[in-house]
Structure 1
Amino acid sequence: MLNHTGYAQGSGPAQGPTSSDEGASHEKLKREYLAYLETKNEEIKEQQEARRYYHGAQWTDKQIKEFNQRRQPVVTYNRIGRKINAVVGLLERQKQDPRGFPRTPKHEEGAEIATAVLRYVCDQQRWEEKSPISGLNGAVDGLGGVEIILEAGDQGDKEIGLEIVDPSGFFYDPRSLKMDFSDARYMGQGKWADVDTVIEMFPDKEDLIRDSLERGTELTSNPDSDDKWYSGSENAKRIRLVDHWYIKGGEWHWCIYTGSVKLASGISYLRDEKGKTACKYIMYSANVDHEGDRYGFVRNMRSSQDEINQRRSKGLHTLNSRRLIIPKGSGLDIEKTRREAARPDGVIEFEGNIEPKFDDSAKGQELSGHLAFLQDAKDEIENYGFNPALIGQGVQDMSGRAIQLQQQAGIAELGPYLLAFRGWKLRVYRMIWQAVQEHWTSERWIRVTDDDGMAQFLGINQLGIDPRTGQPALVNALGSLDVDIIIDEGPDTINMQADAYDTLSIMATKGQQVPPQLLIELSPLAGKQKKKALDILSQAQQQEPDPVAMAGAQAEIAEKQASAQLKQAQAMKATAEAQTVGMPDGSGPSEIEVATAFADLRNKNASTAKIMADTRKVEVETALKPMEMRNQQIEQERSREERFAFKGADLRQAKESASRPQK
């Protein structure tokens, strides 16, 4: 937070307040922060407890002390941590890369540029690492998110950065009830910082900063990490620093302050797709209860987790001890007998016929009861949220389709959380795109990688030549692009792809015509291997005669032959009929009549042959139409990739030509 709020160390705000931007008063901002701490006290305590349970700290100090006194083992089987880690793993399996889609057909090229830019920023900011952490924070604390920051770039303009928000220091408007915080009037973060670090950031406020050392201690939610870090300091002076974002006059403002003084303030450097100022904190909630408190998965698993730990601890304690029944006045040393009875090799001495009795039957019944309830608690926590199929348990003998159905049923139970998480990712992508359009003004080259791992280079804000006017013009200017950013959220493509590949393979072995390109696309090969195989197949098809063309040529030849036979038969019939004109009637068929009948027969045969040839031609064209369309699609995709790959080279050449001095 310290150097990611729109300002740089030692230089003041990167986008400071204007002369008319007075902002909210320091006291008003402090009251808002304190209102959150007072109103959301129970939520803050629940978040702290949830973090402890996730990390395995599930016994209180009082319980541990009591167990040690009775020599009962303290055992922890952290099922909550495993369950939440499985949720994060599910999010990782469901991840999709951002894609830009055009609003109109003429913006198709702009959508490709938006896709390349978004993936470039996400790759530079290690989005694949930060997104699961935000998902983990939401599952444990009930809220998570990132902040959009501006970093110094090497192109003369700002770089877009992403920083994970720590839920333990995050605060927000307690009146907010929506899961995406869209109804919040303010939000921010509070952190302890070394006073020397703060002075480096604001050297002109050194005296005011040092005066704030003894103030502002109430501006904290007292998380465990802050308590340990603050109390374990090596006599270092620390100060409470707050990054506060709020709405005033319909616009988002920001302010950095301590317990006694405002250090910097300004208007938001971000704008949404409608041109309005936006908050840099993009947050989401896993759940919001009836009182408006936000919570994660720990709340509903805590009781089962406590029962697992306590019943297992009680069961072990029962196994390690034995109850004795001794008559009163037997003369046995009770404490010594107790110790010897608890030892595996213990020896109990008794006089006469007074033998102590062990109450093992009652102990066995008690132990059986604990184990039965223990199993119920395990089943409850295992089936909470989603079924074991989502983490690969119990699906060894299932087909890919069956696995998919099981996993879809389990995913449905995580519906609200998954919807909130996906909506949050979409908002992050949109805000990145809006920030890029506004703050990327210099020309630059970005390296992008396609779905098959092939590297490409794309020029942004490049100086080129307008083909219509011949004058220099900006090419791929981000500020003028109009695209709609959406996410493709699909099912588990691994299982579906494997099922489709198996089905087509069986069809091919039974003689069905399956295009080899389709088998290669669905095969479990790596992207580079698929591309190599498709290239080899394409070269082989170019060398061999086109089956579509060959079939069409054969159909054309058959049609021409049938047409020639028809014309010949018609000519023979006409000749025979002409020869019979004016001749007297005979008693039997003359030679001319026989010839005429033969000509009619050949005419009918030729007509039938032509009809069969036409029918065969239609059948061949219909059968080969899918293959022809597939070949056209492959050729279009190849041409599109080549145009996209060589666009950068054309822009460089155009730029060099424009900048070359005229002789």
Structure 2
Amino acid sequence: MANGLDTVLATAKPGDGSAAGYESKGGSDVIAKLCRYFEEAEDQTYQARKVAERSRDYYDGDQWTPEELAVLKKRKQPALTINYIKRKVEFLRGYERRQRSDPKAYPRTPQHTDMADAATDSLRFVADQNDFDEIRSQVYENLLIEGFGGADVVVEEHPSGADVLIQYVPWDRLFYDPASRAPDFSDAKYKGIVIWMDKEEAYDLFPDRRDAIESTLSSVSLSDTYDDRPRFQWCDNRRSRVRIVQCHWYEGGEWMVCTYTKGGALIDPQVSPYVDEYGRSACSLILRSAYIDRDNNRYGDVLDMISLQDEINKRRSKALHLINMRQFWYERGAIDDVNKAKAELAKPDGAVEVNPQLQFQILPTNDMAAGNMQMLQQATIEMQATGPNAALAGKDPRDQSGRAIQAQQQGGSIEIEPIMDNLRQWTRDVYQAVWLRVRQFWTGEKWVRVTDSDKNMKWVGLNHPVTLKEELSTMPREEAEQLVQQMGLQPGDPRLEMVVRTENDISGLDVDIIIEEGPDVVTIQAEQFAQLADLAAKGLPIPPDAIIEASSLRNKDVILKEMRGEGEKSPQVQQLEAQLQELGQKYNELQQKADDNSAKNEIDMFKAQTGQYDAETKRLTATAPGMSPEQVIQLATQAFMEAMQGAGLMGQQPQQMAPPEAPPMPPQDMQPNPPTEAGFSIPEADFAGGMPAPAAADSGVGLPPG
């Protein structure tokens, strides 16, 4: 297809929603009403769209009108453009990119605490699949320049499942109810999308509606914003292109949707196939505006900078013209050729011949040029104070203290926070719509790939049916053996494939979606970290984990877990702890022999050596993540041998107390569990492929040894 909007217009197929009664009311009446909606929006938002187009022109550097350029050309005055508007907008766009973050879903009920992570993983998966960060930045650019923008959150179904799509809609492809006043268009009676499409493509997309397309091609009239370049209202006969509209409107307590053109419906009117959190029909278009005046016109930040930009351009152009030109007065007959005199005065070394006894004098214009330069300086200062200031942009030339720079940056961030908050609200609405689509259409088993750290990738199963075999493989060995004996399970027992529960069932999961971002969060976090670090440097007993928690370090959660001993232990460290436990048992045996002084001395010596080994084990636990397995084993073996020799145990049973061998390291490019055909990996159950035969002394079904 020509663009992504074609997919959006074709997502609602006939039969997706119920529209009982529309056939009996007459399809032509409905299409006529929808055409009136569109033409009403086009007519009553004309001034707002003109302002939006002008704002876009100024951002693009087109800041002189054709009439102004003609006058300047006649004067031979340069048309200078110093585009401060683009600098401001580009900084705000870059600032938004620095504020990007991932969504987080929080449960609304205690029983959904564990499942909220699955909702978070689903949202991030859909965002990554649709490159939502780029869509968000495009909408933010529309908010800054034109004043409004949005996206369409729809579902595209296919034989292997359903994909949630977030489709960016350019501002000049959107229309809305001109009576709407809410920033999120929640009070709009209708809103929609308009695109242009080649006739052949429209035939392919809507093969059974050729009559409506042909009827539209026979009508032509002029339009402006919703044009196809060149501008035609409902069709372009020269290239056989037709304008297609998808309108969402609220009627009878339901959101309706219809795709149509001037000649008739391409997809019949129907109830929207999407629902909100209460099960009611919902509009798929998520729109947002930056500012609204009292006439309901939407506008962005650029509008406030246009007059200052005009003054900068015109005063700079006028000052340069006054510096380069010469004005003069003369008595009639003083010069023979006025044009030749003007040309000579325009030269650095020009000379004018004046007839005798007649006056000729050059008029000074330095005062006018100086006045324009002074006013230009004032306008430039005003422009720099508008929006993000120089300190926030890191371009303040003054030599200031760090505290003064920080205060100015905080002041600048406060000024741009309202429009950033508008963007956050729109982002939250989009994620909320994504979650509702996921909950509505991902009814079967669905696996999503997420990255839980910088190096690890995992698969999360939604609506995953857990079989008895999988459930037993996750249970403790003793409990699993007991359950196997009670049920009398045998290898190949069909009951092992019985579904016992559904993991991450999202059909009834309610969550709150939080977007954690904004300059205030970063500033407060940096300030708290600096204060804690300063207090710790002065000797106050600040816990190290509190300093790490306040920092902006990546993976600080992993660091905190390691500091608190909550991290996963390597196999080498686990073996060391097992050997330490064995030494403890030997110590208890010697404790029982404490009847004479020699035994007590032996106990004291053994206790000292065991303590040394315990300290070495803890040290290895802390340093193991940065060491190779061979280094861990070597140090552990040395500490173990010293402890055993000091306790006098090595001469008794050396063959039993030898240090364990290092387990072989798997190749780096191999996965413990290869992915299945569906693209995800499932842990191998202890019962996969059959179960071991019962042990000789056990009449039940045994489990494989640990």
TM-score by length of structure 1 reads: 0.75
Counterpart contact for 1:448–1:456, Cα < 8 Å: yes
SS in 2 for 1:113: helix
Structure 1 residues 493, 2: CA separation in 2 closer, same or farther (over 3 Å shift)? Answer: closer
Among 440, 443, 447, which residue is 1:438 paired with?
440
2:467–2:499: 8 Å Cα contact kept in structure 1? yes
2:682 aligned to which of 652, 657, 661: 652
- Whole-Å Cα distance in 1 between the matches of residues 372 and 546 of structure 2? 57
Superposition deviation, residue 108 in structure 1: 1.1
Partner of 2:97: 92
1:120 partner letter = F
User: Kindly tell me: are residues 20 and 655 of structure 1, through their superposed partners in 2, closer, same or farther at Cα, counting changes over 3 Å?
Assistant: farther
Can you list the C-alpha shifts for 1:518-573, whole angstroms capped at 9, x where unaligned? 55566676549985995899789x99xxxxxxxxxxxxxxxxxxxxxxxxxxxxxx
Equivalent positions of 1:266-285 (< 5 A) are 266-285=270-289
Deviation of residue 194 (structure 1)? 0.6
The 8 Å contact of residues 462 and 505 in structure 2, kept in 1 or not, is answered as yes
Q: Is it true that 1:482 corresponds to 2:529 in the alignment?
A: no
Picking from 39, 53, 69, the partner of 1:48 is 53
Is residue 373 of structure 2 the alignment partner of residue 371 of structure 1?
A: yes
Q: Distance in 2 between matches of 1:410 and 1:429?
A: 29
Maintained 8 Å contact 2:216/2:235: no
Partner residue of 2:327?
323
Question: For 1:655 and 1:29, how far apart are their aligned partners in 2?
Answer: 59
CA distance change for structure 1 residues 490 and 303 in 2, over 3 Å: closer, same or farther? closer
Q: Name the residue aligned to 1:421.
A: 423
Alignment of 1:164-175 (within 5 A): 164-175=168-179
Match of 1:390, SS state, is coil
Match of 2:393 in 1: 391
Q: Partner of 1:226: helix, strand, or coil?
A: coil
Structure 2 Cα separation of the partners of residues 437 and 662 of structure 1: 41
Give 3-state SS (helix, strand or coil) of 1:242's partner. Answer: strand
- Match for residue 552 of structure 1? none
**CA shift at 1:272, angstroms?**
1.2
User: How many Å separate the matches in 2 of 1:186 and 1:238?
Assistant: 25
Q: Equivalents in 2 of 1:511, 1:455: separation in Å?
A: 41
Which AA in structure 1 matches 2:513?
Answer: I
Contact 2:227 2:233 in 1 (8 A): no
Question: How far apart are residue 463 of structure 1 and its match?
Answer: 1.3
Structure 1 contact 150–160 (Cα < 8 Å) conserved: yes
CA separation in 2, counterparts of 1:174 and 1:439?
Answer: 33
Q: Deviations over 1:155-205 (max 9, x none)?
A: x32111111121112111111111110000110011221111111101122
Of the two, which has the highest radius of gyration?
1
Q: CA deviation at 1:58?
A: 1.0
2:264 is matched with: 261
Structure 1 residues 351 and 398: alpha-carbon distance in aligned structure 2, compared to 1, 3 A threshold: closer
Matches within 5 A, 1:68-467: 68-152=73-157, 156-215=160-219, 217=221, 221-222=224-225, 226-227=229-230, 235-265=238-268, 266-352=270-356, 356-360=360-364, 363-394=365-396, 403-450=405-452, 454-465=456-467
CA distance in 2, matches of 1:660, 1:262: 60
Deviations 1:401-440 (A, max 9, x none): 6555433322333354233222111111111100110011
SS in 1 for 2:513: strand
What residue is the counterpart of 1:15 in the other structure? 16
* Sequence identity (%): 34
Distance 1:413 1:505, change over 3 A: closer
Give the aligned partner of residue 625 of structure 2. none
Indicate how the Cα distance of structure 1 residues 536 and 483 shifts in structure 2: closer, same or farther if over 3 A, else same.
Answer: closer
Q: Which amino acid aligns with 1:422?
A: R
Cα deviation code 1:430-487 (max 9, x no counterpart): 1110011001123222122246564332111211047699843321122122222222
Cα–Cα, structure 1 residues 105 and 530, in superposed 2: closer, same or farther, change >3 Å?
Answer: closer
Residue type of the alignment partner of 1:204: D
8 A contact 1:94–1:492 mirrored in 2: no
- Aligned equivalents of 2:217, 2:432: Cα separation in 1: 40
- 1:47 shift after superposition: 1.5
Tell me how many residue pairs correspond in the alignment: 559
SS at match of 1:271: coil
Contact 1:101–1:111 (Cα < 8 Å) also in 2: yes
The residue number in structure 2 matching 1:593 is none
In structure 2, the CA distance between the partners of 1:658 and 1:406, relative to structure 1 (3 Å rule), is farther
The 3 A distance-change label for structure 1 pair 174 and 490 is: closer
Assess if the C-alpha contact under 8 Å between 1:401 and 1:495 holds in 2: no
| Per-residue deviation, 1:494 | 5.3
Unaligned runs of 5+ in 1: 544-630, 632-644
Distance 1:234 1:346, change over 3 A: farther
Shift of 1:14: 7.4
Determine the C-alpha separation between the residues in 2 that align with 1:405 and 1:105.
Answer: 42
Cα distance in 1, alignment partners of residues 465 and 186 from structure 2 = 40
Specify the SS of the correspondent of 1:42.
helix
- Amino acid across the alignment from 2:136: S
Aligned counterparts of 2:262 and 2:250: Cα–Cα separation in 1: 21
Letter in 1 for 2:423: F
Q: Any idea what the Cα deviations from partners look like across 1:2-37, whole Å, max 9, x if unmatched?
A: 4333636xx954725555554871101011111112
Change in 2 beyond 3 A, CA 1:431/1:261: same
Give the structure, 1 or 2, with the largest relative contact order (CA under 8 Å, sep 6 or more): 1
Describe the SS at the equivalent of 2:229. Answer: helix
C-alpha displacement at 1:214, in angstroms?
2.2
1:386 Cα deviation from its structure 2 partner: 3.9
Contact 1:400 1:499 in 2 (8 A): no
CA-based RMSD of the aligned residues comes to 4.1
Q: Which amino acid in the other structure matches residue 477 of structure 1?
A: D
Letter in 2 for 1:250: G
Alignment of 1:631-642 (within 5 A): none
CA contact (8 A) 2:9 2:246 kept: no
Q: Mark the CA change 1:471 to 1:462 in structure 2 (over 3 Å): closer, same or farther.
A: closer
Deviation at 1:268? Answer: 1.1
Contact 2:214 2:263 in 1 (8 A): no
Work out the CA distance in 1 between the residues paired with 2:65 and 2:110.
63
Kept in 1, the 8 Å contact 2:88–2:388? The answer is no
Q: Where does structure 2 lack aligned partners over 5 or more consecutive residues?
A: 473-482, 484-497, 575-621, 623-671, 694-706
**How far off its partner does 1:116 sit?**
1.0
Paired AA for residue 40 in structure 2 = A
Deviations 1:76-133 (A, max 9, x none): 1111222222222333333332111112332211211111111111111111111011
Q: 1:256 to 1:341 in 2, by over 3 A?
A: same
Cα deviation digits, residues 590-638 of structure 1 (max 9, x gap): xxxxxxxxxxxxxxxxxxxxxxxxxxxxxxxxxxxxxxxxx9xxxxxxx
Secondary structure at the aligned position of 1:330 is classed as coil
Q: Return the alpha-carbon distance in structure 2 between the equivalents of residues 366 and 330 of structure 1.
A: 26
In 1: Cα distance, 2:73 partner to 2:336 partner: 27
The answer to whether the 8 Å contact 2:5/2:169 transfers is: no
CA shift for structure 1 position 213: 0.8
Return the alpha-carbon distance in structure 2 between the equivalents of residues 244 and 473 of structure 1: 43
User: Residue in 1 aligned with 2:668?
Assistant: none
Q: What's the secondary structure of 2:183's corresponding residue?
A: coil
Tell me the CA shift for residue 253 of structure 1. Answer: 1.2
Residue 331 to residue 430, structure 1, CA distance change in 2 (3 Å): closer
Quickly say closer, same or farther: Cα 1:335–1:216, change in 2 above 3 A: closer
Q: For each residue in 1:336-368, what CA deviation from the matched residue of structure 2 results, as whole angstroms up to 9, or x when unmatched? A: 1111001123232335565743222xx111111
